[in-house]
C-alpha cells in the first residue's frame, strides 16, 4: 500500500471517529432533554423569528407551544396546521402595549404559553387571548403560572377585536385558529361585531361588562370607560371625578397624578334608597397619587385604595363632600343612561 492510500484511509478513519463523537453528543443531549422534564426557563423557549404554536387550548398545550416574548416589540407567531391537508394560517406580530406612538417591548421574563381565556363570571364577550408566564416549558407548569399583566390587569387580545379583524391579517389568523379548535363559534363572533358596527378597537383595560369589574382610572385626566351592554358598547365619561372646578381654578384643575384600578358597584349607603344607584370604589393603586398643586387645600380628597371615590356633590356653594354616585334611573343624563346598561343584564 502506497503512502497516498495510507493517508486516505487515515483521513476516512478520522471522519468516522468524528461522526461517532458527534452522534454520542447528540444522544447525550437527547437523554438530558428527556430527563429534564421541566425544561426550566429559557431552555426550550422559541426565540426564533417565528414561533410556531399548535394550540390556544390550555388543556392541550405541548412543550413545543412554550415561547419567549421577552424584551421584544413585535414577536411573530404562527399556528402549525394539524395535518398536511389543513392550510397554514399566516404568521402575525404580537404587541405588548403602545406609548407615545411607540410599541413597548414585552417585559423581561415573558416566557410561557399563549392561550384562550374564558371569564366565567363575565360576559362570554369578555374573553380573549392571554399569555401565561410559567417557570418552565412543560405544560404542567401552566397551573402554577400567572397571566402577563399590563397596568394591573391581564394583558389580553380581546375576542371583540379578534372578531372584527381589527389590526389586519394577524387577528384573522387568531380568529380562524379559535374556530378551528371550536373555542368560539360564529354566533359569539357575530355578537362581538354587532357591539361596535364601526369596527372600533376596544381597550380591555377600559371595557366594563358588569358591576364590580375593575378598570383603569387616571387621576390627572377625564375619566372614561367603555360600557358593554347586551347590544352595544358606549363611552361613559365624567370630567369632574378627580377635578376641582372652583372659581379660582376655572375651568378646572386635577390636583393629583397617579392611577388605579376602580370599579362601579351598587351603593349600600343608607342615603341611597334606590337599588339603581351606583358608586365608584378604588380597588388598588397602580401609581400612588401625588399632589401637583402647591399649597392645595384638599378640597378634592386624595384617592385611597379600598375606599369609595369622594368629591363635593351638588352645585355651587351648596356642594358637600361625599361619595360620588349616580342614580341611573332618576338622573336624566347620558352618563346615567349609559351606566344603566350595567343593570339591564
CB 164 within 8 A of CB 194: no
- List the chain residues with pLDDT less than 70: 1-50, 84-85, 166-169, 197, 199, 316-318
Name which of 126, 122, 137 is nearest 53 in CA terms: 137
Element holding 7 (H helix, E strand): helix 3-35
Q: Is the dihedral of CA 189, 95, 107, 176 positive or negative?
A: positive
Q: How many helices, marked H, and strands, marked E, lie in the chain? A: 5, 21
Written as nine digits, the cell of 1 is 500500500
Question: How far apart are alpha carbons 134 and 116 in whole angstroms?
Answer: 16
Question: How far apart are alpha carbons 338 and 234 in whole angstroms?
Answer: 7
pLDDT in tens, 270-295: 999 889 999 999 999 999 999 999 99
Written as nine digits, the cell of 226 is 367603555
Question: How far apart are alpha carbons 29 and 31 in whole angstroms?
Answer: 5
Indicate the length of the chain as a whole number: 345
pLDDT at residue 1, as a whole number: 52
CB 209 within 8 A of CB 125: yes
pTM of the model: 0.80
Written as nine digits, the cell of 62 is 405541548
Pairing of strands 111-117, 67-68: antiparallel
pLDDT at residue 164, as a whole number: 85
Name which of 264, 254, 155, 258 is nearest 215 in CA terms: 264
CA dihedral 282→288→289→294, nearest 10 degrees, is 160
pLDDT at residue 43, as a whole number: 44
Contacts of 298 (CB under 8 A, 6+ apart): none
Name which of 243, 241, 261 is nearest 335 in CA terms: 241
Name which of 200, 210, 179 is nearest 343 in CA terms: 210
Amino acid at each position: 500500500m502506497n503512502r497516498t492510500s495510507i493517508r486516505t484511509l487515515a483521513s476516512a478513519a478520522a471522519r468516522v471517529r468524528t461522526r461517532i463523537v458527534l452522534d454520542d453528543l447528540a444522544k447525550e443531549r437527547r437523554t438530558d432533554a428527556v430527563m429534564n422534564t421541566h425544561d426550566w426557563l429559557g431552555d426550550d423557549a422559541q426565540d426564533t423569528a417565528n414561533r410556531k404554536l399548535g394550540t390556544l387550548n390550555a388543556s392541550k398545550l405541548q412543550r413545543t407551544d412554550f415561547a419567549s416574548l421577552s424584551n421584544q416589540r413585535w414577536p411573530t407567531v404562527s399556528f402549525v396546521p394539524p395535518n398536511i391537508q389543513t392550510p397554514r394560517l399566516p404568521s402575525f406580530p404580537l404587541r405588548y402595549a403602545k406609548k407615545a406612538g411607540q410599541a413597548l417591548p414585552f417585559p423581561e421574563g415573558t416566557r410561557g404559553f399563549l392561550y384562550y381565556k374564558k371569564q366565567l363570571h363575565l360576559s362570554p364577550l369578555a374573553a380573549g387571548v392571554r399569555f401565561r408566564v410559567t417557570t418552565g416549558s412543560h405544560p404542567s407548569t401552566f397551573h402554577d403560572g400567572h397571566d402577563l399583566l399590563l397596568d394591573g390587569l391581564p394583558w389580553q387580545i380581546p375576542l371583540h377585536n379578534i372578531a372584527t379583524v381589527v389590526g389586519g391579517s394577524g387577528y384573522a389568523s387568531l380568529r380562524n385558529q379559535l374556530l378551528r379548535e371550536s373555542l368560539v363559534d360564529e354566533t359569539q363572533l357575530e355578537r362581538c361585531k354587532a357591539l361596535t358596527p364601526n369596527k372600533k378597537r376596544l381597550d380591555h383595560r377600559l371595557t366594563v361588562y358588569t358591576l364590580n369589574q375593575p378598570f383603569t382610572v387616571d387621576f390627572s385626566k377625564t375619566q372614561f370607560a367603555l360600557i358593554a351592554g347586551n347590544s352595544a358598547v358606549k363611552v361613559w365619561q365624567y370630567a369632574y371625578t378627580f377635578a376641582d372646578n372652583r372659581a379660582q381654578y376655572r375651568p378646572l384643575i386635577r390636583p393629583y397624578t397617579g392611577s388605579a384600578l376602580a370599579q362601579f358597584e351598587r351603593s349600600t349607603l343608607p342615603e341611597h334608597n334606590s337599588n339603581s344607584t351606583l358608586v365608584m370604589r378604588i380597588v388598588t393603586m397602580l401609581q400612588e397619587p401625588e399632589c401637583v398643586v402647591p399649597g392645595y387645600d384638599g378640597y378634592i380628597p386624595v384617592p385611597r385604595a379600598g375606599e369609595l371615590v369622594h368629591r363635593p356633590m351638588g352645585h355651587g356653594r351648596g356642594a358637600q363632600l361625599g361619595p360620588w354616585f349616580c342614580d341611573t334611573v332618576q338622573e336624566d343624563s347620558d352618563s346615567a343612561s349609559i351606566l344603566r346598561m350595567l343593570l339591564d343584564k
